[in-house]
Every structure is written in structure tokens, then in C-alpha cells.
Amino acid sequence: MSHAPGTRRNHSRMPLVAAARGQSPARRPVWFMRQAGRSLPEYRAIRAEIGMLESCFDADLVCEITLQPVRRHDVDAAILFSDIVVPLKAAGVDLDIVAGTGPVIAAPIRSTADVEALPRLDPSAVGAVARAVTKILDQLDEATALIGFAGAPFTLASYLIEGGPSRNYVHTKALMRSDPDTWHALMARLADITITFLQVQLDAGVDAVQVFDSWAGALSEADYRTLVAPHVDRVFAELAEYGVPRIHFGVGTGELLAAMAEPADVIGVDWRVPLEEAVHRVGPGKAVQGNLDPTVLFAGPAVVEQEIRRVLDDGRRAVAAGATGHIVNLGHGVLPDTDPDVLTRAVELIHTL
Ligand code: 1CP
């Protein structure tokens, strides 16, 4: 499938895109992973009436929920409201997102036959997502980037194989090591789904994409490089023609930063590794994104300000060390009990300090 880049918005005024490209942004860009969601009462009001997955296939609701944190916090990017399992659901995998748990798969994948039976994603099955992107772009001002996203093959595989959230990824790692052929076949299938899902969003006009390999930090660098990276590299390579910033993120991935940064334009860093140190690990020429610890937002205004100053200074040192730019974010998602006013105040500080 070949995709000509669709009509793009004017990116020259978006601080997030400028930071990713090594240009000087008008202000330090900031957004928060999971900025839409349970920390916002207006989100909880919508979700009281409708299930998580159902809301992800309703273009009007996706548009509204995506814009809620932008209206409140003056962040420099909106992230499409969706979930990493949405393309799997759209392809026909029997799964649900269970409140308080996360994705639950009816029939976990364990065998070669299971992998062969995994359905492919027809782009029309995520037409609601494309329509939502169009609606969001109609309302978003020209300085605010819309970030599309998808889960990376390893993190998607971990849910499909374990059947839900996992602590030790026992079945995933067992399959990966005992039957590499089946493993690679599964990763290739999931990479195809990820590519299609991101192409649909890019064709509809998103300004940047983030690939979430949230749980890749469970792997050694050697296993990551042989069993995962080839598939992720293909995902990133397929998106290159769109010319938009491509962000790669995972949790606890300090040892994987070099491998994860290779195919990407922007590397997400969690709070365990200072941004300047991340640049030493990945080398020059990539932007860094992060990395406030989400729990800092519970420690009171003095600590929040001190930590923001520290991350901004660290970001400056990262740029001096060769990063093309710094996009401020948390090191992982906003926790559901976070006071949204603390987030609004954090954005103000980041923009003024
Ligand atoms: O505002 C935004 O950031 C957009 C919303 C978003 C994103 C980026 C949601 C909505 N999901 C995701 C991606 C996602 N989903 C990831 C990668 C990001 C990350 O690491 O946090 C992952 C791992 C998932 C899987 C998932 N979906 C979980 C985690 C379960 C686990 O293994 O610990 C959970 C709890 C969900 C459900 C979900 N997705 C999104 C929301 C708002 C929710 C909660 C549902 C609810 O409100 O009941």
C-alpha cells in the first residue's frame, strides 16, 4: 500500500515540531501523556455514559475528549484520544478494556495457528479515527500539534499473549525464546497493523506520531535488538515519507535508549535517566521528550516548581550535548488522581520560566 502524504497543516508555527526538527521553538513545548482521561472531571462525565472502547469509535466523542485538556491546560499538543488496542479491536480481535484493569483479550495467542488466525486491519475499520482527526484539526489552532499514536509490536504482543496486563511477561518471553519463527511472524503481523493504523491517522493529517512501546523495558538490550527492533524499525521506516516528527517511547528503557532512538526523530525518556545522560546514550541529532516523574505532581507547589526548573535545566544541557530540542512531558502518563489545576499551573511555569 503506497501513501502520498496528505494535505499537511503549516508546521512552521508549532513549537513541538520546531523542537523535534532542531529549529528554535517560540516557547518550550509541553504536553502530557494521558492528558486526556480520568484526571479530568469533564472526561469522567462523558465516560459515565459510555464504555471506553465504544467512545474510541465515536468520532464526535474522540474529538471532544482530545480537545478537553488543550482547552484547560494550554498545552502545545493534543494527543488523539484512543488506545493501543483500538486497531486490534477494529481488526476483529475479541477484546475489551475493563475499568480498573486495562485491555483483556478473550483468547490469548499462544501458538503458530493463533498467529496465523490473527486478522489484518482494513483501514476502513478505523474510519471513525480518521473522521475524528479531521474534526479535531478543524478546531485546533495552528500552533498546537495533533499527535497520533499506536502501540509498538512488543507491547501489543504482550497483551495478546498474556491475555491482559502483566508483571513478568512470562508467556510472552517464553514464546519469544522457544519459538522465534512464530514470534517473528506475530511481530510482523502486529507491525503491519501498527503501520496501517498510523497511516490512517497521517493521511487524515496528524502533525506528529508517537509509538508507545511501554513495556519494552522488560527486555535486555540484546533481546530487544534481535527480537523486537527489526519490526519497530520497519514501522518507523514506513512513516518516513510523511516527514512529520516520529516519537518513540517506553518505560524503564534506560538500557534500550540507543536502540530505540535509532529509527526515531524524538526519544521519550522516563524519570530514571537524566535527559543529558540520555543524549550521551543515544548520540546527537535526536530530540528528547520528558521526563518529570508523574508522582511529583502530588508533592505540593514548591516541589513541582523545583522539579520543573530541574527538568528545564537538564533539557538545556541535553541540547548543549547535541539533542536537536527538548519537548517537556512526564516520564509516563498522568496518574488518574492528579489534580488538573496542578497540570495547568505546570504548563504556565514551563512556558514562563
Ligand atoms: O490523553 C492521552 O494520552 C490519550 C489516551 C490514551 C493513550 C495514549 C489512552 C486512553 N490509552 C493510551 C495508550 C495506551 N494504552 C498505552 C501506552 C501508554 C502508556 O504506557 O500509558 C498502554 C500500555 C495502554 C493499555 C491500557 N489501556 C492500559 C494499561 C494497562 C496496563 O497494562 O497497566 C489501560 C488502563 C488502558 C485503558 C485506558 N486507555 C486510555 C484510558 C483513558 C484508559 C482508562 C479507561 C477508563 O477511563 O476507564
Query: Mind listing the pLDDT tens digit for each residue in 51-83?
Result: 999 999 999 999 999 999 999 999 999 999 999
Domain residue limits, the chain: 11-352
CATH fold label, 11-352: TIM Barrel (3.20.20)
pLDDT at 1: 39
User: Model-level pTM?
Assistant: 0.96
Which residue's C-alpha cell is 523495558?
217
149 Cα nearest atom in ligand 1:
8
Best substitution site from 31, 32, 34 to test ligand 1's pocket, by max atoms within 8 Å of Cβ? 34
* Residue nearest atom 7 of ligand 1, based on CA coordinates: 83
Q: Is 104 in the pocket of ligand 1 (CB under 6 A)?
A: no
Q: Note whether 189 and 115 are within 8 A (CB).
A: yes
36 Cα nearest atom in ligand 1:
1
User: Positive or negative CA dihedral for 57, 58, 59, 63?
Assistant: negative
pLDDT at 3: 44
Name the DSSP class of 8: P
Q: Is 333 in the pocket of ligand 1 (CB under 6 A)?
A: yes
Distance CA 180, CA 191 (A): 16
pLDDT at 8: 75
Cα 315 to middle of ligand 1, angstroms: 27
Q: What's the complex ipTM?
A: 0.91
- Of 64, 116, 113, 57, the residue nearest 85 (C-alpha): 57
Residue 45: exposed, middle, or buried by beta-carbon count in 10 A (0-12, 13-18, 19+)? exposed
pLDDT at 195: 98
Best substitution site from 61, 83, 97, 212 to test ligand 1's pocket, by max atoms within 8 Å of Cβ? 83
* Residue nearest atom 27 of ligand 1, based on CA coordinates: 102
- Of 190, 50, 44, 51, the residue nearest 114 (C-alpha): 190
pLDDT at 7: 60
Q: Is 97 in the pocket of ligand 1 (CB under 6 A)?
A: yes
Q: Note whether 35 and 42 are within 8 A (CB).
A: no
Cα 83 to middle of ligand 1, angstroms: 6
Q: Is 35 in the pocket of ligand 1 (CB under 6 A)?
A: yes
pLDDT at 4: 45
Cβ neighbours for 167, distance < 8 A, ≥ 6 positions apart: none
pLDDT at 2: 38
pLDDT at 161: 98
Regions of the chain with pLDDT less than 70: 1-7
Tell me which residues are annotated as active site: 34, 38, 47, 83, 159
